[in-house]
Amino acid sequence: MIDRSAPRGVLPAPDPRGVQTVPAALPVHPRTGRLLVLATVFVCAACGLVYELELLALGSYLIGDSVTQASVVLSVMVFAMGVGSLLAKRLRRRPAFGFGVIEAGLALLGGLSAMALYASFAWLGESRTALVAFSFTIGVLIGAEIPLLMVLIQRIRRQDAGGAVADLFAADYVGALIGGLAFPFLLLPVFGQLIGAMVTGAVNAVMGGALVLWLFRRDLTPRCRRLLVAANATVLAVLASATLFVGDFERVARRAVYGGEVRVAVQTGVQELVLTGPSGGSPRSLDLYLDGRLRVSGYDEYRYHEALVHPAMTGAHARVLVLGGGDGLAAREVLRYRDVASVTVVELDPAVVRLARTDPMLSALNDRAFEDPRLGVVTQDAFAWLRGPAAGDRFDVIVSDLPDPGITPSTKLYSQEFYGLAARALKPGGRLAVHAGPLATRPRTYWTVESTLRAAGLLTSPYSAGGRLSGFAAGPDRTPGGAVGAPPQDWGFVLAALDRVPELRVDRDTPALRAVSTRALQDAARDAARVRPAGGMPPSTLPHPRYT
């Protein structure tokens, strides 16, 4: 929850020295004028919170780790609001003109902030600097609003400072509530991130400009009026032009980010899905991105999925649960065993499953797993499902095919509590296979997953596949853009069981595999053991997450 209790501006009592105290000549009754100022506060507060949420959402999406990005955006903005409040002192001699300029600048920067952050990510490869810069600048402008509005409302009708502050902040906080609700329930689903920010900027410009140019027009010199009209007209023209070309911008930016040919780009209620690869091409040329991160490369995904699934299938495997894996690739490996009776896939985003069913290349890559009558799909959060409807179910094998634990939304799915629920769902002698993140490049994260499994009462066998610590068969890798010769993928896994340390091997009757063998698994386990940190890592829990 965003803290709006921090002042949007330092509100000193009106000082007659240097501040206009002559009542404003208004075109309406003072009571009506006062209501119009409060309505402007309401709208500006709603727009300001939308800008904050837009920066938060894009920062989490483009950079990852939503906790860090929320801390950065909010702390920088609150600090900048204090700076803006102090700077507003210099504008109190001409409060109407100063407020008009601030609102025009805020509308322009806030409206284009989402596009600018995405452009920075697409062409410069990072957006953290732009995120901090926009957070600070927008915060300064928001902080300068209320000191000037305080002067304007006192010019309409003098009242004690406490009463004026109470009125302004009441309108401010109610507006923030409306803006906070409008962002996820209206702007984001209807307009998307880029156009939603531009619509907000246009509303901001119209409301701020109308208040100054109509209600306080007699406070402005003819030159100031012309400047404000030109500034607001320019802002609205820029935002309208950007809105018209946003589709072309997104296509060009996606090519810069993803390379190759973007065939499918879908913004769901959960994430952005992007499929690249030539239409009608080989499934091996397909790449699947989730929120800008390469999740599946058709060129070498078999090495990941074989290493994840087949060690856990040694032993009884009549009933199998796949957590995540809405692309159907882990299920494909499970369904290669004819004696598998049922497979349940629990996937949060139904759009991933729909894409895996209907896209010709992705469905060919997963061998049309979702057409197999043995497979059932549940579209729900894995944690909630294990805790709720599945509480009485028992499985021979559970495959946890989830995003890396360092991505904040998935942190709870790598917690001791989550593994406790998974252990409860195992039959006696059952096995749990977990994708634990990269072992070679992020060993602290990997070993935190392993220690968390042990803290949940499971016995573990760590191993890796595809990286420099692995003895697995590997062909040439490629970068997301398709270049051959990139460093091998670094995948880390943990096989866990309740009653004994699970043996890393594949049965002789396992379907023919391209990358996995018993010897490769055992070599990978020995390599992993050599880099185990002395003393181990503390487990991650819901109240104390350890992943970074």
Q: Does position 9 have pLDDT exceeding 50, yes or no?
A: no
**Which contiguous run of DSSP H or E holds residue 294?**
strand 293-297
How many Cα atoms are found within 13 Å in the side-chain-facing hemisphere of 234?
Answer: 12
User: End-to-end alpha-carbon separation of the chain, Å?
Assistant: 21
Q: Which of 15-24, 329-338, 523-532 has the lowest mean pLDDT?
A: 15-24
Q: What angle do CA 535, 457, 346 make, to 5 degrees?
A: 115
To the query of whether residue 499 is one of the catalytic residues in this protein, the response is no
What confidence tens digit (pLDDT) does each residue in 140-173 have?
999 999 999 999 998 887 777 788 889 999 999 9
Residue keyed to tokens 């050599």: 530
> Exposure string (b/e) for 142-175, b if CB count within 10 Å is 16 or more?
bbbbbbbbbbbbbbbeeeeeeebeebbbebbbeb
Maximum average pLDDT range among 190-194, 384-388, 414-418, 515-519: 414-418
Average pLDDT over residues 344-348: 96
Catalytic residue among 349, 359, 396, 401: 401
Query: How far, in Å, CA of 167 to CA of 116, rounded?
Result: 35
Tell me the residue length of the chain: 548
Strands 395-401 and 477-478, how do they pair? unpaired
Strands 319-324 and 395-401, by their bridges, are parallel
**Average pLDDT score over the chain:** 88
CB 61 within 8 A of CB 409: no
CA distances, 354 to each of 64, 287, 294, 345, 380 (Å): 25, 16, 19, 13, 14
User: DSSP letter string over 347-396?
Assistant: ES-HHHHHHHHH-HHHHHHTTTGGGSTTEEEEES-HHHHHHTTTTT--EE
Query: How far is residue 388 from each of residues 244, 381, 383, 385, 392, measured CA to CA in Å?
Result: 46, 10, 9, 5, 9
| pLDDT given at position 215 | 94
pLDDT by residue (tens digit) across 474-491? Answer: 443 333 333 333 345 789
Burial call 535-547: b when 16+ CB within 10 Å, e when fewer: eebebbbeeebbb
Give me 378's structure tokens.
Answer: 């549940």
pLDDT at 435: 94
Segment 92-116 mean pLDDT: 96
Q: What is the mean pLDDT of residues 449-478?
A: 74
Q: Which helix (H) or strand (E) holds 333?
A: helix 329-334
Between 508 and 243, the more confident residue is 243
